[in-house]
Structures are given as structure tokens and as C-alpha cells.
Amino acid sequence: MELLSPREVATFALSLLDLTNLRDDCDATAIEQLCRKAQSPSGATAAICIWPRFVAQARGLLGPGNQVRIATVVNFPSGDLPVEQVVAETTAAIADGADEIDLVIPYRAFLAGDDAAVTTMVEAVRAACPHACLKVILETGELKDSGRIRQASGLAIAAGADFIKTSTGKVQVNATLEAADIMLQAIRDSRKKVGFKPAGGISTVADADLYLRLAETIMGRDWLMPSTFRFGASSLLDDILAVISGSPSARVSTGY
């Protein structure tokens, strides 16, 4: 891998960032702030990721042609909602102006041996948003076992995922390099154009660099672009902007 300076890594990570606010206390004022932060003087993030109830507001703030895409979450964070309800959530979010849907698989059903629950859910939501980017959240910290992570990755890819994503950020263990390695290998072996999104706990440019290096090792440098790689994070932007301005990145705080 070519050696990039911290500032170059930060600038690249900015273009790959899904700037996220999925806090329980998120409100309209927070969404206004998020939309402003996503369009920084140093560059725009790839997307914002927000609760469905704020999609219409964000679309009004960003406008129809804005380069910052609007992602929202469905079946989130529990993964336990009925398929019909998740489809209704998806349809409403698209109508409100969402560009991307981040869907939690029914991971508890999957852990209980019900592979079909994953396939049915992903296929139904895929059909409900045929033109949107569909990111499928596996909740790898709950799956834990490498074989289950690999199996869930394959099910999601086969059912039509545009991305597979590690985590909701709402459980004890979120993105890890181990899970990322398994998921990236599943994408490579599928030979399909599927992206990868590590999310949860990635808060520094140094952290981001670890994931970028891993993805490049498995998928190649040319694969790293917003259409195939995103970071899901709420606090990473602060460190990105600090590094771009010339401050040192905070030390690595996550990863393994």
C-alpha cells in the first residue's frame, strides 16, 4: 500500500463518511447541525445517516441535487420487526427523500438457525427500494462467531445487498477488524459489486486508516471509493477535520 500522510488519509476518509446521528435524543436542531457539518469547508461527507422521522427535514435542508446523500435505518436497532412493517418503513423513507436504506437483518432469528428469515427480509426490502442503495447490517458483535459472520454476509449478498455493514452501534461490540476481514473476503469471493461499511466505534483517522489498509489488501486500491466503501460514525468527522487542519490524529482507540 502506498504510504499516505495523515492529512491525505483524513481527506480520503471524509469522502467515505456516513456522518451519523442515531442518538435517542436527536431532534430537529441536531439534524440542522448535522447537515451543516456534512458540508464542511474541507469537503463534503458521502452521506448523513439519520432516523427515518428526520428524512423529510434533511431533504428540505440539503435540497434535491445535493452531493451529500441521505441514508436512514429500518428494522433498527433490534432487527425484530415484522417484514411488512419494515417494508412500510422503507417505502415511507424513500417517499420522504431517502437515497439509502440501512437495514438490520433479523439476527436473533438467524442465530436461532433461521437463515430464511434473513433472505426474506433482505429480498423484501430490496424490492421496496429498487433504486436506493441498500446497506445490510449484520450486527457482527452479536453474531460473534466467524462462521456465522461469513454465512450472514453470503445470505445478504445473495439477497441483493449493495453493501454489507458491521453494526448498529447500539450493542456492546461494534466494528472490529476481525469482522471486517471476514466480510471483505465474502465480498471478494462473491465476485459481485458489493460495498462494505464498518460502523460503530471508529472515532479517529488512525482507526480509519486501519480499515482502509485492510480493505485495500483484500480488494485493491481502486476498490476504495464511496460507491463501495463507507465509514459509519458520529465522531470521526471531528478528528478528520482536526487532522486536515494540521493537528495530529488521536491515538488508535479501537480496531481489535
Q: What are the residue boundaries of the structural domains of the chain, listed by start? A: 6-244
Question: pLDDT digit string (tens) for 54-109?
Answer: 999 999 999 888 999 999 999 999 999 999 999 999 999 999 999 999 999 999 99
Q: Residue 256: its pLDDT value, please?
A: 27
Q: Residue 249: its pLDDT value, please?
A: 72
Does the pLDDT at position 253 exceed 60?
Answer: no
Q: How far apart (Å, rounded) are the C-alpha atoms in residues 20 and 41? A: 19
Which of 102, 162, 207, 239 is catalytic? The answer is: 102
**Whether 197 is catalytic:** yes
**Whether 238 is catalytic:** no
**Whether 193 is catalytic:** no
Beta bridge partners of 102: 73, 135
Which of 96, 162, 197, 239 is catalytic? The answer is: 197
How many of the other CB atoms lie within 10 Å of CB of 170? Answer: 15
Please name the residues in contact with 211: beta carbons below 8 A apart, sequence gap of 6 or more. 175, 177, 180, 198, 202, 231
Average pLDDT over residues 115-126: 98
Q: Residue 64: its pLDDT value, please?
A: 83
Which of 165, 207, 209, 239 is catalytic? The answer is: 165
Which percentage of the chain shows pLDDT scores above 70?
A: 96
Does the pLDDT at position 171 exceed 50?
Answer: yes
Confirm if 1 and 243 have CB atoms less than 8 A apart.
no
Instruction: Tell which CATH classification among 3.20.20.70, 3.40.50.2020, 3.30.70.1450, 2.60.120.470 matches the domain 6-244.
Output: 3.20.20.70
Residue 251 banded pLDDT, cuts 50, 70, 90: low
Does the pLDDT at position 248 exceed 80?
Answer: no
Closest CA to 77 of 234, 199, 162: 199
